[in-house]
């Protein structure tokens, strides 16, 4: 019995169909998204900064959180903190506007200066890749979560690791968030 052809066949199969690890961790800094004006926004520019990502909506009971989001962004942006908002219409159609309407709403009503991205989906079959990463332990390497409602907050460390998920009802100036930013 010749073993060589079997070994050769196994080697060829191993080369053609390599094993992949079960972990498919993707780096936070690998993402590039579109901002509210349709321009590219690379997360690689966020290296070394603490980042809070928030899904936002203009017709939600939590919409007044925009004011506190702007306050903490203004207070901490010079200390390496970035806040990124992703408008989404996933919860009771509370963000029906176009990107242009959302931009105007944020500016006129809350004086928003933090980066606002183009409107996306934060759950379901059309969930944006950033939110797939935020909610999947297989991708982020830390934990699974689900987006419960508008204004859920994701905290990302200076080295691009998911640190915490903050419930929508918890306000942006909550001590949990402020302590994380300051320490």
Catalytically active residues, by annotation: 60
Measured from the Cβ of residue 46, the count of other Cβ atoms closer than 10 Å reads 20
**CB 114, CB 81: distance < 8 Å:** no
Q: What is the distance between the alpha carbons of residues 93 and 154, in angstroms, rounded to a whole number?
A: 22
For residue 36, the 8-state DSSP code is: T
The residue among 48, 121, 131, 55 whose CA lies nearest residue 90 is: 121
């Amino acid at each position: 019995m010749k073993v060589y052809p079997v070994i050769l066949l196994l080697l060829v199969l191993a080369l053609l169909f390599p094993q992949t690890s079960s972990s498919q961790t993707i780096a936070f800094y690998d993402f590039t998204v579109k901002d509210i004006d349709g321009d590219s926004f690379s997360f690689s520019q966020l290296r070394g900064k603490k980042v809070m990502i928030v899904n936002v909506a203009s017709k939600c009971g939590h919409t007044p959180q925009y004011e506190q989001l702007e306050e903490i962004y203004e207070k901490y942006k010079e200390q390496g903190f970035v806040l990124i908002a992703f408008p989404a219409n996933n919860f009771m159609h509370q963000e029906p506007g176009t990107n242009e309407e959302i931009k105007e709403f944020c500016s006129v009503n809350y004086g928003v200066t933090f980066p606002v991205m183009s409107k996306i989906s934060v759950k379901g079959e059309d969930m944006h890749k950033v939110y797939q990463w935020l909610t999947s332990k297989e991708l982020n390497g830390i934990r699974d979560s689900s987006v419960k409602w508008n204004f859920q907050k994701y905290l990302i460390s200076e080295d691009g690791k998911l640190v915490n998920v903050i419930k929508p009802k918890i306000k942006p100036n909550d001590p949990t968030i402020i302590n994380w930013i300051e320490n």
